[in-house]
Structure 1
């Protein structure tokens, strides 16, 4: 898994790319990105499955904030990103949420 951040010079926005490798995705057919940036909607941010089996999505996030997120695999399994910037306890699941920190570099 990886998170790539590209800060825009003209706006306080960061193009943030989330990737799940094929080895981490296993036999999953679908993956969704869910977090406080989309109201934890479990279907509004489907990740694209690449030919090599990786899943990826790029979204715009406002600078100067940190966001909680998780991946939902095949609509049933929540998965964390080991490359997240931090982790915090989830108030709803018996696990941590991933944190991505978007701070202009």
Structure 2
């Protein structure tokens, strides 16, 4: 799993690419504050090498809580900028700061 941030000089956004190595998975999504935690909106595309990938333009100077959904299981990003406890889920969420 990894996150790549590309700041765009001409716009107040950061292009964030989420990448998940899940060769045996049939579906992977990224869900979070930026897409109303909707797995259908956050569906990542599966590449031939088994990696799931997707890019999103997120507003700069903000933090977003998120998780991956891998075949229905919620998973944190180990390389997240930080983690935040979520009482609703009873677990920590990954935090992305851009």
Query: Which TM class, normalised by the smaller chain length?
Result: over 0.9
SS at match of 2:49: coil
Unaligned runs of 5+ in 2: none
- Give 4+ residue runs of structure 1 displaced > 4 Å after superposition: none
Task: Provide TM-score, normalisation by structure 2.
Answer: 0.94
Higher strand share: 2
Any stretches of 5+ residues in structure 1 without a counterpart?
Answer: none
Note the aligned Cα RMSD (angstroms): 1.0
Equivalent residue number for residue 5 of structure 1: 5
Partner of 1:44: 41
Q: Aligned residues, how many?
A: 98
What is the aligned partner in structure 2 of residue 77 from structure 1?
73
Distance 1:92 1:41 in 2: 16
Q: CA deviation at 1:39?
A: 1.0
